[in-house]
Structure 1
């Protein structure tokens, strides 16, 4: 019965009654189909009555389509209904492909499937003007179909080849990721009839495809029983486009929504030709003038019925948080989450779906959508949640707890609670993307104001112990209510919508809420003072100091009781890895303050700050904080912990998430801090940051300049000595990384010349210092500097052992 129901996107106020009588409606539709003129070729074939009638020939495994309306737009979507299972390859179960508006056009003895060019339009009543734009830009013919039979009612075409092709680009993806050259083997491919279905507003085809080839990569070998034959299922949907009742809403860069755009060539010359709107679901109040009203059709999401407990309950609870935001704008029960019926197909466009996706390694979760390319209306939200990521949060908790398995091996409640708390937030986050919302990476500075941030678990030292009670926030955030209000407020009749939208954003601004998204939050070369990934706290440097204290305490507590009885010590090393690098994301945040900027997505007249340089004291505190991550006394693994990490046991080899080294089978206590230091230095001495420091010093003479940063760095590393021989060797490894990154700035071709000059000067000064300490290490540094000076153009930074996989520590998104 649920399969026969239409989602809100296919209904208007005038048609919503159909859902009350699903069996009656389908009966009428089916009877009508039986009176349609039959094709001779299809008399003995299995018939599917639907949006397009189609016929299956089981003897030849062919599919025929009846086309009655030519040059009538509909939506075509391809996707993967079963995937490969490798995060690195990136072909997941449930992965959506591109949606395309298409139509059938007759040309001689064939029908062409044509994709019009919707990027360039003329929205005018002038037919000739519309045609002039249509003819000015290329369109795409996706396929040509020979007409098998023609009647008064339409055309019959064979669509087998169109459906049984690599629409999703599996072979291209395997090639691009270095897994080998593969081609489609049609002799080992067939229609999956159990997932091929017809409905009045959409038809769904599923095809089992086998790719044959010569495997080259380890990823494909790790996830296939026979890597020479890779079988997946691809899905094709033909969908009726929504009616004209949807109202587009203007995009504002301050709103937190995703933009949807096209060029309208009918625009008057004095106005912008590029039109920008937001993507959103269709949502209307039954009574738009009421303070609180039910929706004409609520937004309903369905959770994958293959999701296990306790994850199932956590995803339902976290996703339902969004209803708080819809209630705040006067909707009653406008956002709902239910379990997907057992007989429903998650690829069916009528269902907004949250899928629980399995892979061989942990990886990204993401929220995707099928949208109407004409308007930006979201027709289907589709969330894919990686099942292994909850285990990573569990592992982080296991590493930070003090002797959790000392007395019993089932003492996992606190670890599971933390992991489940993260999953609740993950559910809300990814659903947010499918509602039309972008990341807000400045929300962590406003008391965790948005589920659209990337949350790092928040721990504190209380009464001498690590406190887990506030690791993750619960509930929808203040910023999330702003984005919902902007995208989904149903304004009363007579309201000026643009004024109403500006009022929503002005209130958010007055409340001190900040919004910074992806392009300004990435760590390498990033400059925004507040927009960071996986960070916490209003002050990034204060938080890094706190994170280092938590890390130090957890390492001090770390023991064999962080694993269960009968587990090999190799497992203990794997638990230790995320603890050792626990500071990595907050380090990214602090690095961005140095040579950093504070700015907004300001528009004329809104009164927001446009851009300013991060003030001197904030930058100096950041530099002092980040240099702590280059201090051997902090970064060396305590000597008494090294006996916990013997050579790995048989059957428990290293993985990509293990700490790498240069000492063969033995645990490398020097490479771990070297790898950590390289991460810090790659951020701190990023070429773009170095160039910004030149400009910053020119504009604000009392602020930090590149020379001062390099002087402080050298003083705290290369010029530093340790009495303890172990700590001194750790510091030596860190110091060589400093030297290599300094040389990199001296030789880099994509920086201001002043950067090269200052870095060269510091190398010359360093040579004088090193000559005063003619020990073995100083001589080696001198030798490397001299060799660099002879041929700086040949220099490349020597790689360190690779840092273990980090992101996503508990979640992230692909958009």
Structure 2
């Protein structure tokens, strides 16, 4: 831990002065003084507080008491004895001139100094400590309005001189007394901070004071995040950090701190580019060497009676708190999972429909733009429909924070929705803090970036350029949610296409309604997270494709089985009927998940009733799968093609085919329209890349069909369904054909030369880029699909496929050899046809050859040996075809050079000795 407030420093008395004091105390009787007499300078020196050392080490022992002072304690008619050297000053003396805020942990404040009064009843008693980030840097993940860490914490008094703030280790418990001591000894608590006790105990309350300066340190560990963002060591500057405001109630104490991080200098960039990319210094601050971060510390009282925990069931998706119960060795898995949920109790327990004793209240932050507040409120209150199904009326309430409010809704007693901005931001997040003992949600703060205000609202008119994210789509896992960012990109594509069709006009009521609907959709998703629900990336598959074109059906039921999915936009093809564009209401899964977590159940009936609720998982409308099932994160490529982010309908492959058609339509229309007077400089460039973004996601997810497995989450023995079922061979071949004929086909990416030449940059910006690199954009889409087909996971599943298929069906299964042959044939199709090989195709072939070479020379520890053997066999066949094709004198010089170079590289790779790991 960093050092605490200045004033905690101790200058030890010299030896001579200490001896002199002792002699004086022994030889001279204590003088008689009035109670109001001022202490002498020497008495002031003796009353200095003992400092708390860095890291929470035990402070030096106070000096020995003077013998005469001890003797004088019983002399009648004399003043109380002089305090021991180094002993804390009297309570009232320390807070003289300070103002008090009484409550859970009382605060005393004088000028810029703050003391916490630690009541004796708070010692060694758990409370929730949370640190939220109210203000930050504004770039590279360092944004305002974000929830930080929380701990089950306590104050621990060490002797008479030190107070420690301890994070309790609640991850390991013992449900039996026999193992309790062993568990407590086996797992350490953690020290979050400590301070010297600044006062003697209060005469009546017996509480003591500590200087709050230990909060002007980096308790949440934010410096690590800063270093991760900029790869520079910013240090916390205690001298320029300060307290802003404090708030105390019977339930909570809140301290807002403004903490300064700085570095003495910004390193000069290297003379030559580093092989390892390094991020540039901050660009959003006036001086890259300095930044302030706002921390909101909340000391929150936990309920006197802990909420009864509710066990999770993996057939549904809830966030949970987890503890390892080492009280018995009879359970194979000692981990216990409790659903994260708010405490919701009926005011009238016997009534079929009752208001709760305490509703779940969401505060709309005052910085939400007024034009969006109704849509945000609607997104929150939509969840009341699910609670009404289980007997709660008005379970959720929305309130608006007044503009003149003096409290910060980033504290731990106000669930809030906040609007924040950043230089490169585009996401929403819905985290929460919970009592780790029971899973009871104590606080939640939804952060909504201004992706709608700047990058989405009136998209058609403003056309604000965004990052060119091609290839892999952004993914979310664990607690992170980038739904708003991806949703805004989807809306961008939809509005571009609708404007190109003439179906919607800039600044029209239709465009405004469209944006408001997207905000409601996003808020419903994030509120679901704060109610304890995880993502459901299988929810979109429960709606049949023909239903998506039914306007009445989609407006009433939405376009997906769950708002917790990342739902794509329901855009009709030309000539089709148009249903609702996005989700309008909760889906059947959302009602089911709320029922499991919040339905009032008598304790004696809970296990049986929860099992009954969860057993409905076989209902097709309640399909569920989470982030891990979807894959797309390092080490997990996902195996079920029905579990995806941003697909739509019961046949995702058909949806991806439609997306290619929609991208082609958008490109055709924008080329026909051409640049118009008054257009934003980068409008056409942005529209072009918007179509590529759609295809990048599609090409990745189509590949999941090849070697894919359908999965279900049934518990053992509850159904007869197989946990894994191979994707139908016909569907796998259909996916391969789509990639070969659509993604790998250069004809899918043809643009008029006049259009390419018209894609101007914005000359007002320094970082404006040059001409749009169409071949690079195309290749980024194609290599995503290629890498999926050549991945170790795909190879392993295809080789294992016969183990999952009865003998009668084995002749029809798709093999790894067939996949490799189809891929190579599609990439190098000109070798058989003798056609000219244009630049787009040459780029694709080079990327394929690069991967083949690498496997031939270096092998792969992850790729099965049979796959390497098949790869070599395919390479020998490719070598033969290249030899034949390279003699074709009708080809252009570029094509002949490309073929000869490819043949040479492949021959070298086949001759080389493999470097085996």
Q: What is aligned with 1:396? A: 493
In the alignment, what sits opposite 2:755?
642
Q: Write out aligned runs for 1:228-377 (5 A).
A: 228-267=289-328, 269=330, 273-342=334-403, 343=405, 344-377=407-440
CA distance in 2, matches of 1:680, 1:304: 43
Deviation track 1:316-354 (CA, whole Å, cap 9, x = no partner) reads: 112211111111112111122222233141112111111
Cα separation, partners in 2 of 1:170 and 1:724, compared to 1, 3 Å:
farther
For 1:205, the equivalent position in structure 2 comes to 255
Aligned pairs for 1:179-578 within 5 A: 179-193=231-245, 196-213=246-263, 214-215=265-266, 220-267=281-328, 269=330, 273-342=334-403, 343=405, 344-388=407-451, 391=456, 392-393=488-489, 394-403=491-500, 410-447=506-543, 448-463=560-575, 469-491=579-601, 493=602, 496-523=605-632, 525-559=637-671, 565-578=677-690
Specify which of 667, 679, 685 is matched with residue 790 of structure 2: 685
Shift of residue 652 of structure 1? 4.1
Change (3 A) 1:182 1:703: same
Matched, 1:703 2:813: yes
Choose 43-52 or 139-148, whichever is displaced more: 139-148
Give the C-alpha shift of residue 67 in structure 1: 3.2
TM-score by length of 2: 0.76
Alpha-carbon contact 1:54-1:66 (below 8 Å) kept: no
Q: Assess, with a 3 A threshold, how the Cα gap between structure 1 residues 725 and 770 changes in structure 2: closer, same or farther.
A: closer
Identify which of structures 1 and 2 has the higher relative contact order when contacts are C-alpha pairs closer than 8 Å and 6+ apart: 1
Paired residue for 1:162? 214
Q: Which runs of structure 2 are paired with 1:651-662 in the superposition (5 Å)?
A: 651-652=764-765
Q: Distance in 1 between matches of 2:345 and 2:754?
A: 61
The Cα shift of 1:205 comes to 0.5
8 Å contact from structure 1 (residues 148, 158) kept in 2: yes
Work out the CA distance in 2 between the residues paired with 1:570 and 1:38: 67
Which protein shows a greater Rg?
2
- Displacement of 1:495 in angstroms is 6.0
Structure with greater proportional strand content = 1
User: Who is 1:777 aligned against?
Assistant: 898
Query: Root-mean-square deviation (CA), in Å?
Result: 2.8
Q: Secondary structure at the match of 1:77?
A: strand
**Hey, what does 2:741 align to over in structure 1?**
628
Q: Which residue of 1 aligns with 2:728?
A: 615
Kindly state the Cα deviation for residue 220 of structure 1 after the two structures are TM-superposed: 4.7
Matched, 1:666 2:771: yes
Aligned residue for 1:23? none
How many Å separate the matches in 2 of 1:115 and 1:186? 23
Offset of residue 41 of structure 1: 0.6
Deviation per residue, 1:504-563 (Å, 9 max, x gap): 222342354211001010236210131111111211211111111111111111148587
C-alpha displacement of 1:673: 1.1
Find the counterpart in structure 2 of residue 48 from structure 1.
Answer: 101
The C-alpha deviation readout for 1:215-273, integer Å capped at 9, x for no partner, is 46756522111110111111211111112251110111112112321122334736853
1:27 aligns with none
CA 177–94 in structure 1, closer or farther in 2 if over 3 Å, else same: closer
Larger deviation: 149-158 or 230-239? 149-158
Counterpart secondary structure, 1:280 = coil
Q: For the structure 1 residues 646 and 726, does the alpha-carbon distance in structure 2 shift closer, same or farther, using more than 3 Å as the test?
A: farther
Report the CA distance between 1:44 and its aligned residue. 0.9
Select between 160-169 and 514-523 the one with higher mean Cα deviation: 160-169
Residue 147 and residue 463 in structure 1: after superposition, are their counterparts in 2 closer, same or farther (change >3 A)?
same
Give the CA deviation at 1:742.
3.5
Distance 2:627 2:844 in 1: 31
The CA deviation at 1:744 is 4.5
Q: Cα–Cα, structure 1 residues 183 and 551, in superposed 2: closer, same or farther, change >3 Å?
A: same
Cross-structure match for 2:839: 729
Name the count of aligned residue pairs: 741
Equivalent-residue separation in structure 2 for 1:769 and 1:414 (angstroms)? 56
Structure 1 window deviating more from structure 2 (509-518 vs 444-453): it is 509-518
Q: 1:291 to 1:745 in 2, by over 3 A?
A: farther
Question: Residue 115 of structure 2 contacts residue 210 of structure 2 at CA under 8 Å; is this kept in 1?
Answer: yes
Cα distance in 1 for residues equivalent to 2:184 and 2:291: 41
